[in-house]
């Protein structure tokens, strides 16, 4: 009959290897061990920040001219993804608006944040139009372009 004989030194050595494997295995399999680099797997909302701004100037005749605008004036958003569009009112008291081709409308007020949760299913260019300043005569055109790809 064969007897497997392990002397004391070997026993210590194997014990250390065994403990290292156990600890290593625990580190590799514990649920908190999440990669910190690489693409995020969590579904994060595409967020865009916009403000209302104003251009002013004095013409040669001494008359002051002005135009209100959305800033940025063009935004690019992914198609059929949840989008958070935050618009902060800075210039002018309020801007009632709608997004052409959708049923989205609202009002941006000075000092207030207006949040629109959007999901646009069709590709294209959608105009965000302020109805108070929609053309040059009434200090516009205050139009932003939402490009959906
Ligand atoms: Cu406006």
Predicted pLDDT of residue 97 = 98
Rounded Cα–Cα distance for residues 127 and 108 (Å): 16
Centre of ligand 1 to C-alpha 62, Å, is: 24
Q: Tell whether the torsion through CA atoms of 147, 122, 127 and 129 is positive or negative.
A: negative
Centre of ligand 1 to C-alpha 73, Å, is: 13
Tell me the pLDDT tens digit for each residue of 112-145: 999 999 999 999 999 999 999 999 999 999 999 9
Centre of ligand 1 to C-alpha 60, Å, is: 25
Q: What is the mean pLDDT of residues 17-39?
A: 63
Look at 39-48, 59-68, 89-98 and tell me which has the smallest mean pLDDT. Answer: 39-48
Look at 14-18, 75-79, 105-109, 118-122 and tell me which has the smallest mean pLDDT. Answer: 14-18
Domain map (residue ranges) of the chain: 46-148
Using an 8 Å Cβ cutoff, are 117 and 47 in contact?
no
Predicted pLDDT of residue 127 = 98
* Beta strand extents in 13-101 (DSSP E only): 46-58, 64-71, 74-77, 83-88, 94-99
Residue 33 has pLDDT above 80, yes or no: no
Centre of ligand 1 to C-alpha 97, Å, is: 8
Centre of ligand 1 to C-alpha 66, Å, is: 12
Using an 8 Å Cβ cutoff, are 69 and 55 in contact?
yes
Rounded Cα–Cα distance for residues 149 and 140 (Å): 27
Using an 8 Å Cβ cutoff, are 68 and 144 in contact?
no
Fold that domain 46-148 belongs to in CATH: Immunoglobulin-like (2.60.40)
Centre of ligand 1 to C-alpha 113, Å, is: 15
Can you state the percent helix, strand and coil of the chain, rounding each to 5?
15, 40, 40
Q: What is the mean pLDDT of residues 71-82?
A: 96
Angle 129-99-113 from CA coordinates, rounded to 5°: 80
Using an 8 Å Cβ cutoff, are 88 and 52 in contact?
yes
Predicted pLDDT of residue 24 = 73
């Amino acid at each position: 009959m064969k007897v497997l004989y392990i002397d004391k030194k070997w026993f210590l050595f194997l014990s250390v290897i065994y403990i290292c494997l156990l600890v290593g295995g625990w580190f590799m399999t514990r649920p908190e061990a999440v990669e910190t680099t690489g693409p995020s797997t969590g579904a994060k909302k595409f967020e865009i920040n916009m403000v209302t701004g104003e251009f002013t100037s004095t013409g040669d005749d001494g008359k002051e001219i002005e135009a209100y605008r959305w800033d940025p004036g063009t935004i690019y958003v992914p198609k059929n993804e949840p989008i958070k569009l935050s618009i902060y009112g800075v210039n002018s008291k309020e801007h009632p608006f709608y997004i052409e081709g959708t049923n989205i409308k609202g009002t941006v007020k000075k000092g207030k944040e207006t949040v629109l949760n959007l999901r646009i299913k069709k590709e294209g260019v959608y105009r965000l139009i302020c109805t108070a300043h929609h053309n040059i005569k009434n200090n516009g055109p205050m139009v932003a372009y939402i490009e959906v790809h």
